[in-house]
Every structure is written in structure tokens, then in C-alpha cells.
Chain A
Amino acid sequence: MKQSAKLFFHTLFRRKIVVVAALIILFFFICAVASPLLATHNPNEMILKDKLQGCSAEHLLGTDQLGRDLYSRIVYGSRIAFIVGVLSVILAGIVGTIIGLVAGYFGGIVDSILMRIIEAIMAIPSIILALALVAIFGRSFLMLPVVLGVSAIPGYARMMRGQVLTVRELDYVQASRIRGNSSIVTMAKHIFPNCLSPMIVIMTQSIGSTILGEAALSFLGAGIEPPTASWGAMVNDGYKYLYTNPGFAIIPGVAVILLVLAFNIFGDGVRDALDPRMRGGK
């Protein structure tokens, strides 16, 4: 076990770009955890006479339309990106895994019904689905991961189902059934662990797109309640001042790209490290 973990990290960090990605994620993670220490101002403090300033020693990245410090708001915004991004992937991953396991294991009518529901959810454009769910559940801190998670469930469920179908008829699964293990035990102890690694891969890879989803939602004004800082909402605020202060809208977007890019590259790295074909070779 220890050996395989060592091999995993060795393969993961063999490529320098993955190391850089991991460092960027770490950097934003530190921003999220230590926001009060790193921010120079209170992110929600409005000083109207200082509004829409450019970069200066006092305000590193300038101020927004309400005189709030942009740098501090970007630092605090990393919290929303992280919490919403990671939580909704975990939520959707758990629900998707269960649906996929059940559909793949039982097959037949259960499979048909579950897959049709999954396909129905997939047919609704994800941003519209998210907006509708916001209208139903509200936009509190705890509901946002749920809202963004729902549109990610189909991907996980289909992935898991495909995996289950490939191992379902294998000898060790049959053996578990013959021993008289219940379906739940067979699924949890014998099928699930063998379908886990592709699941981890797509979960890591989709953190980035979830962060993008959160940014899009808050850009449309349906993200976290203001005044809490969120990168997407900041881009939207800056949009109105594009003519005079282009930096205001552009800088928060750069933060989104950096973090999403880092997560995507890291996700690809995890995929390669978990792929036995990629190990060992140079």
C-alpha cells in the first residue's frame, strides 16, 4: 500500500507542469485558509470616496465601484471558489457513484429508469438547470454546491455504470454472490473499490469546470449572496466599467483561469499517475 502511494506521487510529480499546477492550487488554498492574514483590507468595507481607483501602494489592484479593495476581495473570493468547487464535486461524486453502481449492478428496468432520468437531466443546459435550482433552493453558502452538483451527477453516474458493467461478470464478483453476500455488500466491498480510480480521475478533472460553473452563476447574479466576494460576480461588477477601468473586470477572471487551469493540469496528472501503462516508463 505504502509502496503504491509512493509510486503514485512519484509518477504524479514527474512532470514539472504538474508540480507547478500543484503549487498554484496550494497558493490559492493558502489564500482561502489565511484570507484574513493575506488581505490588506476588509473585503466588504466600502469607502465610496476611493471608488474605481487604479493600482496603487494602498490598493494593490485598485478598488471597485463601492470603493472596496480588489486585491482583498480576490483573496477572499478564493474561499468561495474552493469550497463550492470541491464540495459540489464531492456531493455529485457520491450521488453519481451510487446511481451508477445501482444502475450497472441491477441492470434491467432499474437501469433503464435511472439512465433515462440521468439523460433527461443532461438534456437541460447546465447553466439553466443551475439557475432554476437556485430559484428553488436559494443561494446560501450550503445550497450552492448542491445546485452546481446536480448538473454534474449525470457524468459520474454514467462513468460509474460503465465501470460496473465491465467488472460485474468477473469471477470475484460472482464468487461474492455465490458466498451469499447481499447486493449491498457485493457492491460496496467488491465492485466499488475496483471502479474507484477512474472516478477519482474524473472528480479531480471536474473541479475546474465546477469552479467555472460557479463563476458563471455568480456572473449572472445567481451566485453567493452579495456582499460576499466571488470572482464571477466581481467580473460582472467590473463589466459596467470596462470602458474606464478594464482591469477591474479582467483581473478576477485571471484568478479564475489560473485556478481552473491548475486543477485541470493536476487532474490530467492524477489520471496519468493512476494509469498503470504510464507508470515506470520515462
Chain B
Amino acid sequence: MGRYIVKRLLETLVILFIISIIAFAIIHLIPGDPVYIMLGTDINQEFHDQVYREMGLDRPLVDQYFYWLGRFLTGNFGHSYYFKQEVSQVVAARLPITLYLGVFSSVFSVVIGIFCGVITAVKRGTWLDNIITVLANIGIAMPSFWLAMLLIWLFGIKLRILPTHDFVMPSVNLKLSLQQMVMPVICMSVGGVASYTRQTRSSMLEVIGQDYIRTARSKGLTESRIINKHAIKNALIPVLTLIGMTLRGCIGGSAIIETIFNINGLGRVMVVALNNRDYTTLQTGLVLLALITCLCNLAVDIAYAYVDPRIRLK
């Protein structure tokens, strides 16, 4: 187990190294002079040169990378000319919101999805199974922004019971925060709920057909005991692998959902930074989001190896 963890840790470091190269490369791959693109062409030559040097663009490429990486690792993310503050401040204010909504949506997806999946498998062929399966199929096919709009129209405009935009953290105003997060969380987790339902259902059905379940039945165990004690545990092993991807999906989806609901999170900041070519914010956000995904994957992999010994012995 220890060896496996060390191996995965080293792999994660390599992945992060590659991501840092990608984040660094973006600034050079987007056509044009980065400083002019970032600040507009109506700045004077001296200011241009100053920023050019500040970003290290006058050095050789390899030097530039290590200069950038060195500053990045010491927490010096640079200055955002678009947000007119330090990137660390931009990120510090927004990352908690994205993480809060992302984690909440992920947990919501996992719990509801697995619950629906188990129900549909156990009640296979009944009207309940059919309805949930149809809904799950629609949930996967539905664009999250479209659902967001439908909800805004229904709850915000027609019924007027939920706020349609902005978000405050629960520490600021608990009641408002809860009301504000209903629609974004639904939109961010609908795809997740749907895929968990489908995955759990097919995995449950597979397990229920196995010999040891038949053995349990012939021993005369009650159906609920068979499901809870024997089937669910084994059926959830393949479902576990989805969890790492869920947080990634929720955080990625936040770019769209935060834009629609006007939530001041990192996802929206990334879209704004990209549209305004705010390179420093963009690079930082990219590395941070990837870092979160990698850590999450690492945690899931270790948990997976813990649950299923076949993985760590391979």
C-alpha cells in the first residue's frame, strides 16, 4: 500500500509539471504580443517594456518558464491588469465559492445518483424504474445552461420564490445563501446525478446476477439484507472511479453556471480572464483547478486501492 501511494504521488507530481508547462505555453501560443493583447495597444512604449520585463518575456524561453515557475511556487502569482489587483487576491476571494458549490454539487450527485441507481436496479421493470431511467437519460442529454434558464424562468420569473443571480457565502447570510444555491447546485449536479444513476443501476444489475447473490438468496436471507449487505458494497466499487471525475466536472461546469447566475467564483473569473486575455489570472487559475482535480483523483485512487486490493497489487 505504501509503495502504491508513493508511486501515485510521484505520478501526480509529473502531471502537475506537465500542466505547468501547458499553462505557461498558453501565453505564447495565443497569437500576438502578450502585453499588447493584455493591456490594449494604446499604452506607451515604456509601460509596455516595463510589463514585458516584469512578465519575464525578454528572457529565453526555458529561463522564462523557470522564472515563472519559481515565482509561482513561492506564491507570487503576479498582478492582474484586468482585475487591477494581485492575482492571489483575485483567486483567494473566488476559489472558496467555486469549491463550496462544487463540493456540494458533487456530494449531491453522488448521494442522489447512487440512491436512484439502487432503487431502479432493485425495482427493475417497474414504472418507477422506467420513469427514473428516462429522466436520467434526459439529464445526461440536457445542456446545463438550458436547464439553468428554465429554472430561472420558472422559479425566478413566474413563481418568484428564488433569487436569480449573485451568491454570498453562508457565513455572510445563511438564509440568502441557501436560497441562492438551490438553482446553481441543481444545474451543476443534474448531469452527475444522471450518470451515477445509470452507472449504479447497471453495476447493481450485474452484481445481482452473480452466484454469491444466488447463494445468499438460497440461504434464505431477506431481500433487503441481500441488497444492503451483499450487493451494494460490490456494486459501488466501479462507481467509485467516477467520483474523481465528478468534482472536475462540477468545477468545469461552474464556468458556465457561474456566468449565468452571476456568481463571483473562479469558473466565471476564468471565462472573463480568457475573454480579456488576462494571462496572469488565467495561468494561476488553470494550475489551481488542475491541482484540485489531481489531488481529488489521488484521494480517490488511494481509497480505491484500499477498498479493492487487486488494484494495489497490480
A residues in contact (CB < 8 Å) with B: 116-117, 119-128, 131-132, 135-136, 208-209, 212, 215-216, 219-221, 232, 235-236, 238-239, 242-243, 246, 249-250, 253, 256-257, 260-261, 264-265
Residue contact A216 to B256, C-beta cutoff 8 Å: yes
Residue contact A235 to B141, C-beta cutoff 8 Å: no
Cross-chain contact of B271 among A131, A246, A261 (Cβ < 8 A): A131
**A134 nearest CB across to chain B (Å):** 8
B residues in contact (CB < 8 Å) with A: 11, 14-16, 18-19, 22, 26, 29-31, 137-138, 140-146, 149-150, 152-153, 157, 248-249, 251-253, 255-256, 259-260, 267, 270-271, 274-275, 277, 282, 285-286, 289-290, 293-294, 297
Residue contact A127 to B141, C-beta cutoff 8 Å: no
Residue contact B146 to A126, C-beta cutoff 8 Å: no
Residue contact B153 to A261, C-beta cutoff 8 Å: no
In whole angstroms, how far apart are the Cα atoms of A260 and B153 in the complex? 23
Residue contact B255 to A125, C-beta cutoff 8 Å: yes
Residue contact B18 to A117, C-beta cutoff 8 Å: yes
Residue contact B140 to A264, C-beta cutoff 8 Å: yes
Residue contact A219 to B256, C-beta cutoff 8 Å: yes
**A66 nearest CB across to chain B (Å):** 20
Cross-chain contact of A212 among B16, B26, B143, B255 (Cβ < 8 A): B143
Known: A136-B30, A261-B138. A256 touches B146 (CB 8 A): yes
In whole angstroms, how far apart are the Cα atoms of A243 and B152 in the complex? 10
Nearest B-chain residue to A215, judged by Cβ: B143
**B216 nearest CB across to chain A (Å):** 24
Cross-chain contact of A128 among B29, B142, B143, B270 (Cβ < 8 A): B270
**B22 nearest CB across to chain A (Å):** 7
Contacts of A260 in B (CB 8 A): 140-142
Contacts of B19 in A (CB 8 A): 120, 123-124
Residue contact A123 to B290, C-beta cutoff 8 Å: yes
Complex A-B: 25 CB contacts under 8 Å: A116-B14, A120-B18, A120-B22, A122-B248, A123-B290, A125-B248, A125-B267, A126-B252, A128-B270, A131-B255, A135-B277, A215-B143, A220-B259, A239-B149, A242-B149, A242-B157, A249-B149, A250-B146, A250-B149, A250-B153, A253-B142, A257-B142, A261-B138, A261-B141, A264-B140
In whole angstroms, how far apart are the Cα atoms of A230 and B21 in the complex? 34
Contacts of A250 in B (CB 8 A): 146, 149-150, 153
In whole angstroms, how far apart are the Cα atoms of A219 and B260 in the complex? 10
**A27 nearest CB across to chain B (Å):** 16
**A74 nearest CB across to chain B (Å):** 14
Residue contact B290 to A124, C-beta cutoff 8 Å: yes
**B135 nearest CB across to chain A (Å):** 12
In whole angstroms, how far apart are the Cα atoms of A74 and B274 in the complex? 29
In whole angstroms, how far apart are the Cα atoms of A260 and B271 in the complex? 25
In whole angstroms, how far apart are the Cα atoms of A119 and B295 in the complex? 12
Residue contact A220 to B271, C-beta cutoff 8 Å: yes
Residue contact B286 to A124, C-beta cutoff 8 Å: yes
Contacts of B29 in A (CB 8 A): 136
Nearest A-chain residue to B250, judged by Cβ: A125
Contacts of B275 in A (CB 8 A): 221
Given known contacts A232-B145, A260-B140, what 18 new A-B pairs fall within 8 Å (CB)? Answer: A116-B18, A117-B18, A119-B15, A125-B253, A127-B252, A127-B255, A128-B285, A132-B26, A136-B29, A215-B146, A235-B143, A235-B149, A242-B149, A246-B153, A246-B157, A253-B142, A253-B149, A264-B137
Contacts of A212 in B (CB 8 A): 141, 143
**B256 nearest CB across to chain A (Å):** 6
Contacts of B16 in A (CB 8 A): 120
Contacts of B294 in A (CB 8 A): 123
